[in-house]
Structure 1
Amino acid sequence: MPDMTHGWEAALAEAESPSWARRARAGCALARFAGVPEVAGPLVRLLLDTGDTAVTRRTAEALTRVGTPAAVRLVVLALAGADDGQADWLWTGIHDAQAEPGGGTDLAAVCARLARDPDGAVRRGAAVLAADADRDGVLLPRT
């Protein structure tokens, strides 16, 4: 019987690469699998990457573009645990995704759902993200 892959194993291996470009590519590839338990932890590590801000930005952008509750949950979890520098790059990725045509995920609605998450860090991160979203789900510029 041939070895069946789940479509995310190769990207998961790249998430541990010393190359920032490979880690960023892995974050983008893994974003659509945000709801898979084996992928969630590595995605949060990529969102909080200490080696290169491009990894943080591109992973946040990809997850925001996916826009599912599972994907946004990882972004808000990272926001809750980010230092100021990481948070700036997370916000940049979020804003980049929202600024693209078709990037209009209703973040306010997703955050309202995440406000009931059992994890306090997720609830805190969702509150922060929701505070920057207007009633149409479009992020307001941070000042």
Structure 2
Amino acid sequence: MMGGLQSALAEASSPSWRQRARAGRVLASFADVPEAAEVLMGLLMDAEDTSVTRQTAEALARVGMAAAVRLIALAVVEADGSRADWLQTGVHDALVGPFGAPDVAAACGKLAQDQEEAVRRGAAEISAWLDGTSC
């Protein structure tokens, strides 16, 4: 399993957007590992391809744990309008997918109490995306 983590960490700096997006999907399940979280933030804010942003946000939303949604929340606060739209699209894709992302709302509830104001603001924004589900 750690081999997959190391491989995905290396792939995250690839010049290929497809490889970076794949890295985001793999790393999402490691969102609670500090090294992976740092790389995931970079992928959420990928300057070269918004598909990397969208697919990474979708993967993190599907994971649904607070550590994963926290990264999306931080990215939302940091993002410009266009990037925020792609983050929202990724979360939406997870919610409407075949398995949904039922834990996102619960994670927002936990993050609403986070010590960091940026996390609380981002969680509130994600909550607004959930069409009436409040955190």
Q: Same fold (TM over 0.5)?
A: yes
Check conservation: 2:30, 2:36, Cα contact below 8 A. Answer: yes
Q: CA RMSD in A?
A: 1.7
Distance 2:133 2:90 in 1: 20
Partner of 2:67: 70
Instruction: Specify the structure having the higher radius of gyration (Cα).
Output: 1
CA contact (8 A) 1:106 1:136 kept: no
Match of 1:105 among 85, 102, 107: 102
Q: Would you say 1:34 and 2:31 are equivalent positions?
A: yes
TM-score (norm 2): 0.92
The aligned length equals 134
Higher share in helix? 2
Q: Contact 2:108/2:124 (CA < 8 Å) preserved in 1?
A: yes
Corresponding residue SS for 1:49: coil
Residues of 1 paired with 2:112 and 2:12: CA distance? 29
SS in 2 for 1:8: helix
Taking the aligned partners of 2:134 and 2:124, their CA distance within structure 1 comes to 16
Residues 17, 113 of structure 1: CA spacing in aligned structure 2 closer, same or farther, 3 A cutoff? same
1:110-125 equivalences under 5 Å are 110-125=107-122
Q: Percent identity?
A: 57
Q: 1:7 to 1:76 in 2, by over 3 A?
A: same
**CA separation in 2, counterparts of 1:69 and 1:109?**
8
What runs of 5+ residues in structure 1 fail to find an aligned partner? 138-143
Task: State the shift of 1:103 in Å.
Answer: 1.1
CA positional deviation for 1:94 = 0.4
Q: Secondary structure at 1:117's aligned position in 2?
A: coil
Distance 2:91 2:106 in 1: 15
Q: Tell me the equivalent position of 1:55.
A: 52
Asked if 1 retains the 8 angstrom alpha-carbon contact of 2:61 and 2:101, the reply is no
CA contact (8 A) 1:73 1:114 kept: yes
2-structure distance, mates of 1:32, 1:76:
16
5+ long unaligned stretches in structure 2: none
